[in-house]
């Protein structure tokens, strides 16, 4: 379909035919494709996204496998931890509920002689499970007590919140035990009688009496002991240690359910009202409805506030839990069979792994993975609070089967099938990418199926589906984070083996790997033939510090330490309750309590109360808790000690009601609502409890009656009273030991909880700040380290004993002398090159090493200056008109100067202001011929007399001598040169363009349109483009006149010795005409190059502009650089591409045709000084002394070589494969593909800076560089014999 | 001579396969029986079941022979219809299918459903899922369906004739459960049979080549 669509786009003609003569199905197809196309695009986009995710993940895992394995291990441990707190029991429980109302105890059949109506019994007969026909072990009746100290007042401390509620447990316990119903049934007769228990448990649970459990049992039902306890919660919670690590522990059994829901907190900071819930558990052996209801009424009447009576509703049910022992034949056999199937499955799957190095290793990790996922799933569900009724042992094999090992096999196969020449991370990433979509599809399909299963609304299936869902997700996570790194490790080992087989590794110290970030392209991994493979050529001793740094041990240590510290501080914060404090202070809309508790001075208190106590009661009042309560009543009639302090109800109701009763009710009701969920009790509670008495519940069941709910409110006075009593008791007991008053107060103060929440607060704050600060520092350190390592490229020291490479490139060096001063400019073209020195000498050489020509500009300039002083000359020359033809008189026989007539625009080139307009023509006066003319005796001096207008008959020689304007100042420095076969152009700093004839080494003319210095110029045939300091580009045309019509002169023979200034030969007359002057750049133009038939200018104003050679067309402006463009390069082997470097440290390649930037490459840290271009690569040298080689097509960095600072300034390609760069006193030849220097050409003095280097364009095998005052020409023989 | 050889080899392979399938069938029948027994113990009152371990002595052998028939029929039908399954034929897949089948039965034995409609729907969905996952061929589907109907009819006939009593009180429950079990069982056994056939073929290829 899509193909058709594509065809339609490309092939209109075909489509035309199809439309009219084809079947109408074509139209349908076309419409269908239109519809589907956007969806397909979306799908494709999603697929691409998934593929790229998998690719990058694969790369990451393969690069840091150990880290990933560690992370996944940590996650596994975290998720599996709750799993170990599950009670390991061999029973499975089944639940069965019956309604309460007309429930008949089947045990009645056995215990009493009541004859039940058979209809009511047999009604349910069919539906009842088999185990139900027997009587249960017992009936559990829980009295759930919800208490708190209300209303909270200032002056209450945090222990008060617990002590009051706990004291109620004693009361309720006693009440239950002594209850006698209206029909005369006592609890004692109906309860379940228990006998002896283990020794360590004896103080805590009842023995030889009714089984009634409450938190009061923590103090062995001894009220006195309870009062002696300064920290009741702590001792209650510490009871759990008696039973060890078996869950549920004793605390849970005493409280009735998990302490999480009870409100007991071990560590508290704030004093506030807390809602405490616990249960008093009573187990009956028969169910008597009237008794139970009577008990309920009694308790509720006694403890509940009057309005709140919660009765059992009519649809309350009794829950029967049957504990079926798993150890029976059928279960075991079926389970065994399933496990066998699982093992077979695993075996068959694992045997399909192939093409890997270590099959066993991968098989083990696969098995580990697939068995850990369900465990993790169970752990995670437990963490989330979902407790399953399924037996984990039973469903484990099914979970594993559902997860399956397919993904692992598929990934392994796909990675094994990738190309072996790539490096391991790429292989892993590619393999993973191939299969990524398939994995995601499978995962989604699995999730959908599981969701579908969830919708069946069968609870067991729903639980299983939840587990399966979590297991699938954890399996996916483990696959990605555990198996992929393991796979990469395996493949790495395999690769090492392969490498070891092919080339034996030298037993050298660890060769440091190039950091991966540098080598972003790996296909150029082929080592250069003369170096041993796999080892960079460097000194073999590796310092230990570098080794440490490369292994990043220090960083890893710091990281683990910090992780541990953060975890510890968070735990500390959590335990100190700070989080809760903050949470509550944010959420509470009432000021229940403040941190600044005005604690009543204990001393005053106790003294006062002591007095009162002893006065009122005399002796020890606390024998029975009942008496206690009476005392409490009395106390409240006393003047309240706290009345001195502010006693205000700290809670304000949002409705603003003042009626306390209503407020109470609302408050308490809200307590209940928030507590509904604690009814998810653990079914393992009862077996654990009965286990203490060696009563086993296997294959028996227990019935849980609906709980009796009590709401007890403890008043603040009572809480305080309890506290004071407790303190008094402690005081009393201390008094027995005859402690001193002072000592007592001291101990009292020590016992008193330090009400300094600020201390903890500040400590945690400090820890948090310290952690945060160190985290930030660590991150910065990591970034810096990674940067350092990235930049830690091997240095190639020039002076260190790096051996001179056994250069297989044969070279021959030639020394070219001649200049008197340092060579400043060096340019080359075709078979010749030109050098210019500081002294103004210009020499032309060819690539055989012969000097072709020498121009002494300085002397010429001096001469011109001299003749400038001669006024007559001046005037005379002013009289010259610019004509078309002129001849150069060589000898007396030559035609004389033909005076120009009709001079319209006289302009002198001797410093007079430039002529008008842009289309001025240059007055070309050859000073040399003037001189010769003057010197020659035979010259017709009448020449001077001809120009009558300005004639002055002064002897020029005389004038020369007496000229006062003769100053031997230097000629304007040369800034750029351009030449072709006949003429040489000199661009000067004063804006002049001097034309010189090469063959006859004589000055032709000069163009002085402007005084702005010429920064660069290019010459192509007759077109000259000149760029100036002010950013103007001038497009000039060179018009050459033919030879003079005089006697043929022999042209300069190559090889003949040249004389300074006195060359003779055929003359070329030339003139420059300006075509266009364009003010294009806002700053000076740094470089001009010729690219194809266009000229490209690089400006200081960050722009690169492309023009036609005549300046008529401005093709493009290349925007992109953010700094001045310093260098440009063009290579005819790759047309259309130019490369530029700039001060913004980037190197960019551009397409001249379209004007688009092709690539932007940024590695240098400082200005890019030089760029050069070969067919496939771009090389750049920056101010940071780095040489970077880039791949031109992709714009990616291939190699980076660091030189000594100040070493290399320029760079040319040598042939197709090499680069030459300059260093101090030598040249370095680098191989482009391997990025390694392969040859060092020593030119002599190691301290001589070499500035320029140019390559001969004939075959690129010769280079010329300046060497102080000399030139060095090095010829390479590029065809070398391969050593292998 | 070669033809006789070939025939001998072919019969040998058939016999081997048949034996394996028979054993598998018997074993599966036993396991399922155990599961059902468990279910009865947990969910239904005692006193109704005659024997705790075996409902009838002849059930496993009959299941075994049925397995043999199904297992041998599947590859033949495949060949006849011309859709040989090459893609998913690995032992791990077969074992997985078997485990899922046992799991379905296990689940149906352990769970008590609110009403029978839910139960039968769930079971039917699971059976279809099994077929979709492990065997997507139409021939497989058709064959299993055929087997299920045949078996249900046979069981009904037997009950009608009084050879076998339903021990479970709920008629409908069994009616919905039985075809699903036969369907999924057919798919499973068919998979095993196919795999065996391919295995034999490969062994033969190795021998001949």
Name the residue with higher pLDDT: B169 or A214: A214
A205-210 long-range contacts, CB within 8 A, separation 24+: A205/A250, A205/A253, A205/A692, A210/A177, A210/A282
Q: Which of A812, A822, A814 is nearest to A851 (CA)?
A: A814
For residue A143, the surrounding DSSP H or E stretch is: strand A139-149
Angstrom distance (rounded) from CA A843 to CA A895 = 31
Work out the minimum CA distance from A405 to partner chain B, whole angstroms: 9
| Residue bearing the bigger pLDDT, A510 or B175 | B175
pLDDT in tens, A836-890: 888 888 888 887 778 878 877 777 777 777 765 554 444 444 434 333 333 333 3
Residue A968 has pLDDT above 80, yes or no: no
Query: Do A399 and A471 contact (CB within 8 A), yes or no?
Result: yes
Q: Is A1024:A1036 a contact under the CB 8 Å cutoff?
A: yes
Q: What is the pLDDT of residue A472?
A: 92
| pLDDT given for residue B167 in this prediction | 52
Q: Report phi then psi at A1014, rounded to 5.
A: -95, 120
Higher pLDDT, A522 or A779: A779
Write out the two tokens for A484: 């992929």
Burial of A767 (0-12, 13-18, 19+ CB in 10 A): middle
The per-residue pLDDT for range A1185-1198, each reduced to its tens digit, is 888 888 888 888 88
**Alpha-carbon span A156 to A605, nearest angstrom:** 13
Which own/partner contact pairs does A413-418 have at CB distance under 8 Å and 24+ positions apart?
A413/A354, A413/A355, A415/A487, A415/A491, A416/A354, A416/A355, A416/A356, A417/A355
pLDDT at A827 over 50: yes
Contact A645, A766 (CB under 8 A): no
For the segment B156-175, what is each residue's pLDDT rounded down to a tens digit?
Answer: 777 777 655 555 544 445 56
Kindly tell me if the per-residue pLDDT of A1120 is higher than 70: yes
Of A349, A394, A458, which has the smallest distance from its Cβ to B111's Cβ?
Answer: A458
Nearest by CB: B99 against A125, A128, A345: A345
Determine the distance in angstroms separating the CA of A807 from the nearest CA of chain B, rounded to an integer: 59
DSSP string, A162-221: HHHHHHHHHHHHHHHHH-B-TTS-BHHHHBPEE----TTTTTTS--SEE-EE-GGGGGTT
Is B100 in Cβ contact with A334 (below 8 Å)? no
Who wins on pLDDT, B51 or A379? A379
Enter the DSSP assignment of A85.
Answer: G
A333 touches chain B (CB under 8 A): yes
pLDDT the model gives residue A462: 85
Min distance B83 CA to chain A CA atoms (Å): 24
Nearest Cα to A1217, choosing from A1203, A1201, A1234? A1234
- If you measure CA to CA, which chain A residue comes closest to B115? A458
Fill in the DSSP letter of residue A483.
I
Taking an 8 Å cut-off on Cβ atoms, the answer to whether B45 and A133 are in contact is: yes
**Please, are residues B61 and B33 in contact by the beta-carbon 8 Å criterion?**
no
The token pair at A980 is 């072709």
Q: Which of residues 99-158 of B touch A (CB under 8 A)?
A: 99-100, 102-103, 106-107, 110-111, 113-114, 118, 121-122, 125, 129
What does the pLDDT read at residue B86?
Answer: 59
Mean pLDDT of A787-810: 58
Measure the CA–CA gap between A1034 and A1023, rounded to whole angstroms: 10
Highest mean pLDDT: which of A476-480, A629-633, B39-43? A476-480
Q: Is the pLDDT of residue A988 over 60?
A: yes
Higher pLDDT, A570 or A942: A570
Nearest CA in chain A to B31: A334
Q: Give the per-residue pLDDT at A681.
A: 57
Give pLDDT tens digits for A659-683: 344 444 444 433 343 344 444 456 6
Spatial CA neighbour of A1040 closest among A1002, A1080, A995: A995
Instruction: Read off the pLDDT band of A259 (50, 70, 90).
Output: confident
> What angle (nearest 5°) sits at the alpha carbon of residue A494, between those of residues A493 and A497?
90
Per-range mean pLDDT, top range of A22-31, A126-135, B150-159: B150-159
Q: Give the separation between CA A1284 and CA A909, rounded to whole angstroms.
A: 66
Q: How confident is the model at residue B99, as a pLDDT?
A: 92
Measure Cα distances from A1008 to A840, A913, A921, A971 in Å: 19, 9, 9, 14
Angle among Cα A1104, A1106, A1109 to the nearest 5 degrees reads 140
pLDDT of residue A753: 47
Which one has a higher pLDDT value, A1020 or A536? A1020
Q: How far is CA A751 from CA A98, A157, A716, A755, in A?
A: 52, 13, 22, 11
Of A61-65, A105-109, A1139-1143, A1154-1158, the poorest mean pLDDT is in A105-109
- Tell me which of A268-277, A343-352, A442-451 is least confident: A268-277
Q: Does B24 touch chain A (CB under 8 A)?
A: no
Strands A1177-1182, A1186-1191: pairing is antiparallel
Q: For residue B102, list chain A residues with Cβ-Cβ distance below 8 A.
A: 334, 337-338, 341
Mean pLDDT, rounded, for A1126-1144: 87
DSSP H helical segments within A1134-1261, as ranges?
Answer: none
CB spacing of B99 vs A397 below 8 angstroms: yes
With a CB-CB cutoff of 8 Å, which residues 359-418 of chain A face chain B?
A: 394, 397-398, 401-402, 404-405
Higher pLDDT: B64 or B166? It is: B64
Query: What radius of gyration do chain A's Cα atoms show?
Result: 51
Distance CA A1196, CA A1184 (A): 19
Q: What pLDDT sits at residue A916? A: 39
pLDDT surpassing 50 at residue A266: yes
Mean pLDDT computed over A944-966: 42
Taking CB atoms and an 8 Å limit, are B100 and A342 in contact across chains? no
**Mean model confidence pLDDT for chain B:** 78
* pLDDT reading at A1052 higher than 80: no
The residue with tokens 């299941």 is B63
Mutating which of B20, B39, B49, B95 best tests the A interface, going by the most A Cβ atoms within 10 A? B95
A175 touches chain B (CB under 8 A): no
Q: Residue A1009's pLDDT is what?
A: 80
pLDDT category at A482 given cuts 50, 70, 90 is very high
Q: Are strands A1218-1223 and A1226-1231 parallel, antiparallel or unpaired?
A: antiparallel
Contact check, Cβ <8 Å, B99/A338: yes
Weakest-pLDDT range from A494-508, A1093-1107, B47-61: B47-61
The answer to whether A330 contacts B103, with C-beta atoms less than 8 Å apart, is no
* d(CA B171, nearest CA chain A) in Å: 14
Which pTM does this prediction carry?
0.49
Average pLDDT, chain A: 71
- Chain CA centroid to CA B19, Å: 15
Q: Calculate mean pLDDT across residues A533-543.
A: 52
Q: With CB atoms and an 8 Å threshold, state whether B102 touches A129.
A: no
Only one residue has tokens 């729907």, namely B121
Query: Which value does ipTM take for this structure?
Result: 0.89
Model confidence over A346-371: pLDDT tens digits?
998 888 888 888 888 889 999 999 98
């Amino acid at each position: 379909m899509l193909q058709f669509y594509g065809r339609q786009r490309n092939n209109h003609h075909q489509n035309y035919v199809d439309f009219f003569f084809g079947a109408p199905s074509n139209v349908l197809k076309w419409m269908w494709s239109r519809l589907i196309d956007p969806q397909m695009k979306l799908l494709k986009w999603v697929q691409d996204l998934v593929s790229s995710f998998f690719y990058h993940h694969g790369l990451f895992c393969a690069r840091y496998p150990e880290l990933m394995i560690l992370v996944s291990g940590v996650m596994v441990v975290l998720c599996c931890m709750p799993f170990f707190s599950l009670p390991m029991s061999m029973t499975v429980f089944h639940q069965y509920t019956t309604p309460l109302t007309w429930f008949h105890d089947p045990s009645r059949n056995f215990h009493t002689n009541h004859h039940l109506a058979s209809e009511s019994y047999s009604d349910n007969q069919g539906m009842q499970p088999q185990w139900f026909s027997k009587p249960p072990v017992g009936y559990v009746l829980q009295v759930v007590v919800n208490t708190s100290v209300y209303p909270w007042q200032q002056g209450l401390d945090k222990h008060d919140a617990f002590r009051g509620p706990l004291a109620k447990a004693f009361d309720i316990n006693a009440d239950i035990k002594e209850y006698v119903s209206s029909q005369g049934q006592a609890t004692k007769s109906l309860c379940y009688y228990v006998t002896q228990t283990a020794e360590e448990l004896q103080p805590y649970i009842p023995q030889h009496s009714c089984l009634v459990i409450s938190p009061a049992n923590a103090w062995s039902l001894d009220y006195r002991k309870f009062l002696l306890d300064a920290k009741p919660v702590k001792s209650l919670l510490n009871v759990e240690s008696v039973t060890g690590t078996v869950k549920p522990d004793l605390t849970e059994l005493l409280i009735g359910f998990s302490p999480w829901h009870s409100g007991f907190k071990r560590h508290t900071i704030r004093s506030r009202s807390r809602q405490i819930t616990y249960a008093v558990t009573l187990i009956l052996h028969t169910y008597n409805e009237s008794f139970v209801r009577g008990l309920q009424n009694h308790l509720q009447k006694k403890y509940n506030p009057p309005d709140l009576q919660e009765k059992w509703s009519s649809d309350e049910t009794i829950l029967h839990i049957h504990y079926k022992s798993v150890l029976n034949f059928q279960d075991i056999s079926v389970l065994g069979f399933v496990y066998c199937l699982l093992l077979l499955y695993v075996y068959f799957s694992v045997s399909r792994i192939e093409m890997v190095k270590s099959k066993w290793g991968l098989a083990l990790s696969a098995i580990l993975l697939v068995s850990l996922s369900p465990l993790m799933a169970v752990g995670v569900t437990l963490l989330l609070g979902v407790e399953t009724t399924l037996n984990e042992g039973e469903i484990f094999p099914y979970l594993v089967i559902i997860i399956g090992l397919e993904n692992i096999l598929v990934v392994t196969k796909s990675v094994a099938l990738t190309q072996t020449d790539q490096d391991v991370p790429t292989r892993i990433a590619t393999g993973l990418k191939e299969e990524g979509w398939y994995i995601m599809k499978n995962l989604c399909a699995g999730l959908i199926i599981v969701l579908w299963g969830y919708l069946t609304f069968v609870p067991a299936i729903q639980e299983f589906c939840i587990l399966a869902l979590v297991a699938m997700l954890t399996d996916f996570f483990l696959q990605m984070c555990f198996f992929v790194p393991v796979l990469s490790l395996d493949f790495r080992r395999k690769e090492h083996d392969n490498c070891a087989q092919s080339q034996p590794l030298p037993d050298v110290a660890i060769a440091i790997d190039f950091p991966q970030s540098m080598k972003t392209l790996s296909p150029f991994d082929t080592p250069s033939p003369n170096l041993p493979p796999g080892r960079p050529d460097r000194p073999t001793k590796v310092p230990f510090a570098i080794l440490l740094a490369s292994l990043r041990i220090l960083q890893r240590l710091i990281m683990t330490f910090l992780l541990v510290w953060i975890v510890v501080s968070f735990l500390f914060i959590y335990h100190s309750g700070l989080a809760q404090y903050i949470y509550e202070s944010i959420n509470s809309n009432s000021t229940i309590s403040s941190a600044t508790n005005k604690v009543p001075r204990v001393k005053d208190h106790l003294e006062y109360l002591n007095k009162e106590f002893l006065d009122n009661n005399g002796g020890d009042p606390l024998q029975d808790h009942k008496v206690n309560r009476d005392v409490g009543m009395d106390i409240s009639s006393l003047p309240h000690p706290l009345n001195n302090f502010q006693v205000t109800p700290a809670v304000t109701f949002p409705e603003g009601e003042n009626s306390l009763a209503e407020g109470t009710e609302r408050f308490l009701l809200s307590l209940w609502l928030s507590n509904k969920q604690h009814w998810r009790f653990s079914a393992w509670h009862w077996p654990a409890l009965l286990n203490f008495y060696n009563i086993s519940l296997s294959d028996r069941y227990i019935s849980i009656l609906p709980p009796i709910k009590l709401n007890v409110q403890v008043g603040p006075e009572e809480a305080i009273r309890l506290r004071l009593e407790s303190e008094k008791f402690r005081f009393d007991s201390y008094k027995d030991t005859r402690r001193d008053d002072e000592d007592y107060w001291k101990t009292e103060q020590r016992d008193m909880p330090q009400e300094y929440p600020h201390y903890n607060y500040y400590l945690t704050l400090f820890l948090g700040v310290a952690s945060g600060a160190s985290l930030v520092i660590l991150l910065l350190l990591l970034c810096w380290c990674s940067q350092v390592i990235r930049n830690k490229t091997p240095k190639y020291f020039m002076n260190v004993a790096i051996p001179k490479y056994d250069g297989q490139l044969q070279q021959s060096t030639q020394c070219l002398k001649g200049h008197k001063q340092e060579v400043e400019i060096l340019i080359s073209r075709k078979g010749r090159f030109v050098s210019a020195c500081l002294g103004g000498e210009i020499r032309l050489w060819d690539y055989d090493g012969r000097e072709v020509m020498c121009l002494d500009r300085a002397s010429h300039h001096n001469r011109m200056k001299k003749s400038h002083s001669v006024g007559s000359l001046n005037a005379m020359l002013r009289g010259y008109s610019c004509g078309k033809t002129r001849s150069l008189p060589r000898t007396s026989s030559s035609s004389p100067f033909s005076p120009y007539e009709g001079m319209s625009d006289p302009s002198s080139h001797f410093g007079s202001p430039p002529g008008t307009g842009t289309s001025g023509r240059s007055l070309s006066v050859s000073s040399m011929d003037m001189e010769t003319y003057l010197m020659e005796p035979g010259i017709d001096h009448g020449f001077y007399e001809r120009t009558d207008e300005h004639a002055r008959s002064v002897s020029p020689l005389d004038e020369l001598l007496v000229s006062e304007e003769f100053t031997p100042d230097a000629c304007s420095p040369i800034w750029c040169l351009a030449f072709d076969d006949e003429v040489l152009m000199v661009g000067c700093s004063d804006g002049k363009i001097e034309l010189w004839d090469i063959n006859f080494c004589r000055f032709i003319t000069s163009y002085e349109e402007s005084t702005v210095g010429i920064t660069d110029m290019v010459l192509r045939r007759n077109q000259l483009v000149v760029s100036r300091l002010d950013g103007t580009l001038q497009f000039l045309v060179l018009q050459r006149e033919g030879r003079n019509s005089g006697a043929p002169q022999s042209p300069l023979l190559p090889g003949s010795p040249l004389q300074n200034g006195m060359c003779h030969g055929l003359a070329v007359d030339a003139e420059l005409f300006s075509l266009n002057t364009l003010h294009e750049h806002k700053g000076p133009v740094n470089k001009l190059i010729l690219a194809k038939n266009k000229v490209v200018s690089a400006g200081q104003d960050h722009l690169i502009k492309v023009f036609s050679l005549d300046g008529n067309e401005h093709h493009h402006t290349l925007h992109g650089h953010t700094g001045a463009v310093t260098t440009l390069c063009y290579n005819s082997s790759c047309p259309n591409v130019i490369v530029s470097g700039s001060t913004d440290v980037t190197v960019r390649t551009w397409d001249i045709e379209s004007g688009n930037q092709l690539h932007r490459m940024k590695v240098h840290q400082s200005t890019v000084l030089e760029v050069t271009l070969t067919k496939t690569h771009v090389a750049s040298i920056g101010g940071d002394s780095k040489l970077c080689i880039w791949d031109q097509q992709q714009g990616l960095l291939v190699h980076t070589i660091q030189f000594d600072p100040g070493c290399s300034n320029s760079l040319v390609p040598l042939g197709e494969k090499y680069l030459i760069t300059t260093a101090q006193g030598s040249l370095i030849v680098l191989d482009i593909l391997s990025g390694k220097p392969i040859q060092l050409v020593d030119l002599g003095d190691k301290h001589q800076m070499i500035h320029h280097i140019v390559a001969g364009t004939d075959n690129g095998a010769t280079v010329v560089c300046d060497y102080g005052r000399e030139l060095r020409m090095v010829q390479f023989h590029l065809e070398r014999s391969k050593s292998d | 001579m070669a033809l006789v050889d070939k025939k001998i080899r072919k019969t040998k392979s058939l016999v081997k396969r048949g034996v394996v399938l028979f054993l598998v069938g018997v074993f599966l029948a036993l396991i399922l029986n155990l599961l059902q027994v468990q279910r009865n113990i947990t969910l239904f009152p005692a006193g109704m079941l005659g024997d705790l371990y075996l409902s009838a002595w002849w059930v496993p052998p009959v299941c075994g022979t049925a397995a043999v028939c199904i297992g041998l029929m599947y590859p033949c039908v495949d060949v006849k219809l011309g859709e040989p399954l090459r893609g998913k034929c690995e032992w791990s897949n077969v074992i997985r299918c078997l485990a899922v089948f046992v799991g379905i039965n296990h689940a149906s034995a352990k769970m008590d459903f609110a009403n029978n409609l839910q139960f039968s729907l769930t079971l039917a969905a699971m059976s279809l899922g099994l077929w979709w996952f492990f065997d997507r061929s139409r021939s497989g589907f058709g064959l299993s369906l055929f087997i299920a109907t045949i078996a249900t009819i046979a069981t009904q006939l037997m009950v009608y004739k009084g050879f076998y009593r339903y021990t479970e009180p709920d008629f409908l429950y069994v009616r919905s459960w039985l075809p699903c079990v036969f369907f999924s069982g057919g798919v499973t056994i068919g998979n095993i049979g196919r795999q065996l056939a391919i295995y034999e073929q490969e062994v033969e290829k190795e021998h001949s080549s």
